[in-house]
Amino acid sequence: MSKVADLSTLPAWHAFSQAVKHAMPSSTTPRIIEAAGLRLDLSAQRNSEAMQAAIEQLLEARDFKAQREGLFKGAISNPTEHRPAWHTMLRAPQPIPEVAHERQRVLEFVRRADSERRYRNIVHIGIGGSDWGVRLAVAAFGYAGMWRNIRYVSNIDGHAIEAGLSGLDPHETLVVVATKSFKTAETLENAARALEWLKSANITDPMNQIIGITANPEAARAWGLHDALIFRFWDWVGGRFSIWSAVGVAAGLAVGTNVMAGLQNGATAMDQHFLSAPAASNAPIQMALTGIANRSVLEYGSLNIAAYDSRLANLIPYLQQLEMESLGKSVDAQGNPIQVATGPAVWGMPGTDAQHTFFQWLHQSSRGAPVDFIICQHEDHRWKAHHRQLLAHCLAQREALLKGKTLEQATAECITQGLDPKQAEELAKHQTLPGGRPSNLIVLPRLTPFALGALLALYEHKVFVQGVIWGLNPFDQWGVEYGKQLALDIYAELHDLRSGLSEHDASTAYWIEQFKG
């Protein structure tokens, strides 16, 4: 990655900022982009000819095309760790030989397990990127039932491993240990408890029922895993992109290898769209730049994800990690402060539950937040009336956020409901909505593996574009490391193994003393 200029000093940035401030959402013609079978409706976002021209200039000023090409060719896209960010290679139709080899190994393992009807239970142990993608895929496509039972253990809280193992027959259980470094404290501690659990069942060789998925096979081997049961990915695969790797083996066992292949195919289709579509009709680029407009120009602090499909509940934490771990930075790739706001907080809940939880805040708080509405046009169940209601709620909430309600409209409605003019005027003050609040609508034809894969890749590439424009490195996550280092010291101090390893603030020192023993 070449040296980048301070974004705030670029003429193209000033042109973009001014264009955003003077632009308005499309009021007459829907603004819809089709990409890899998805439809992205940007009609509720600010847009103008001047804004699109500024986007082109901004992309050129950031040497975007070269950086995009480097991403797909395995160039160094993660400069602080001197690595490519080559997750797109994991889903390529004709990948490099080592990726093709590992993909085949995973496929053969799952097929053999299926043909022998082995592993009635799966305990998937991983955290962060080694966890969320598997949960998402299984919840999305295993909701109607699976012949295997899968449980997830991510948290270091002992209740998590207790719940993960409770009631299972160890002789029918496969333990999956997914950790890129094979040093992740939570994962290894939970894996040790799972190994003890297998040993306590007098299984002859417990290691025959544990597989490891890692970029550090040497560490997995040293831990005791058999070579044949170690599946590899590479240090150029960020954890939040690892669903495309062997990390997906548990999902393959739970919902089938066809699901994992479909996810990869959908993501590949979005890759091709991202590579070839002009900027004005390029879904990731347009999502990225409207997101930058909302965050850096209009100063919205967060982004809400409203997935109107209960099967996509795990999409929210998946996207939280993707966006906030990637874009939660305030310095550029050279370590210089970025002079505009970056990386919004990402949060949400499936609709329509969200409407009864926080949509009040979205509609009438002093600021609100942009919303990504996600919905399937067609249902996969037999209750069509339910789906029509779901569609209606999604469209209605989006329209209400955009249109709002004036005091005059609210007053007229109150009078129509039988209130006298004075009562109507008073109540109407509480029923006005400011409107003009931005949103995207992403429509999947239906929830298929292909469509979900395309959706995940859409967000991946959106994040990449935002990293390029802001000038930051979206592929490292140094911010979480300091707390991990402190935790090692505090853990030792809690056990009186060592003391004085770190200088603590008064409160932390007090609680270390309280918690010792």
Query: Which residues form the catalytic set?
Result: 325, 356, 484
C-alpha to C-alpha distances, 351 to 104, 437, 448, nearest whole angstrom: 38, 18, 19
Q: What whole-number distance in Å separates Cα of residue 378 and Cα of residue 384?
A: 9
Residue 213, classed as helix, strand or coil, is: strand
Q: Which residue in this structure is represented by tokens 């853990």? A: 491
Cβ 437 vs Cβ 397: under 8 Å: no
Query: What is the number of other CB atoms lying within 10 angstroms of the CB of residue 17?
Result: 20
Residue 83, classed as helix, strand or coil, is: strand
Beta bridge partners of 443: 39, 375
Look up residue 12 and give its two tokens. 């193209």
The H or E element containing residue 231 is strand 230-232
Q: What whole-number distance in Å separates Cα of residue 428 and Cα of residue 411?
A: 5
The H or E element containing residue 394 is helix 384-403
Cβ 307 vs Cβ 350: under 8 Å: yes
| CB-side neighbour CA atoms (13 Å) of 272 | 12
**Nearest to 253, CA basis, from 131, 129, 108:** 108
Angle at 495 between CA 491 and CA 499, to 5 degrees: 75
Q: Are strands 230-232 and 173-178 parallel, antiparallel or unpaired?
A: unpaired
Q: Are strands 230-232 and 210-214 parallel, antiparallel or unpaired?
A: parallel
Give CA 76 to chain center in angstroms. Answer: 22
Q: What whole-number distance in Å separates Cα of residue 135 and Cα of residue 489?
A: 32
**Nearest to 17, CA basis, from 284, 371, 295, 283:** 295
Q: What whole-number distance in Å separates Cα of residue 386 and Cα of residue 264?
A: 30
